[in-house]
Each structure stands twice: as C-alpha cells, then as structure tokens.
Amino acid sequence: MIRVEFLGPLSMQAPLELEVANMQELKDTLAQKPELSKWLKICAVAVNNEIIKDEGFAFKSGDKVIILPPVCGG
C-alpha cells in the first residue's frame, strides 16, 4: 500500500491509498481519473522525496508518492 498526494493545481485531489506494484501501474491507475489523466504526462513524481523517472520503479509498502505538476515562480 502506498500513499499518493498531489501538489499545486492538483492539491484539490484528496490523497489516495493504493495497492500498486510499480510506477507504470500507478500511472495506469491514475490515468483512469479524467481530472488527473491530462496532467500525468507533464508531472514529475517523487517517491519518499526523490524524483523518480523509471517507469519500472517498484514500490515498497509505506512509500509516500507525490505528484508534482510544473509550476512557475514570480
């Protein structure tokens, strides 16, 4: 079981507790939600505070995943 949290414009999405094995399975699961699917291609993903780009990255129970949409400062 992992916990998925959302930042920035996605912060209105409640955190999710999911049973997924790897990054690709997570993205496939999140893509089923229309409000998230358009963001997935441009978001970074952090696992336990480390950016992960590997689609095959395997989760461990208790991992904290943050979905990070692009932002601009000012």
DSSP letters, 9-73, are GGTTSPPEEE--SBHHHHHHHHHTSHHHHTTTTT-EEEETTEE---TTPBP-TT-EEEEE-----
> What pLDDT sits at residue 71?
77
> What pLDDT sits at residue 48?
98
The per-residue pLDDT for range 13-72, each reduced to its tens digit, is 999 999 999 999 999 999 999 999 989 989 999 999 999 999 999 999 999 999 999 975
Q: Tell whether the model's pLDDT for residue 7 goes beyond 90.
A: yes
Name the residue with tokens 């989760």: 59
> What pLDDT sits at residue 72?
58
Closest CA to 58 of 27, 25, 36: 25
- Give the amino acid at 22: N
Every domain of the chain and the residues it spans: 2-68
> What pLDDT sits at residue 73?
57
Homologous superfamily (CATH) for 2-68:
Beta-grasp domain (3.10.20.30)
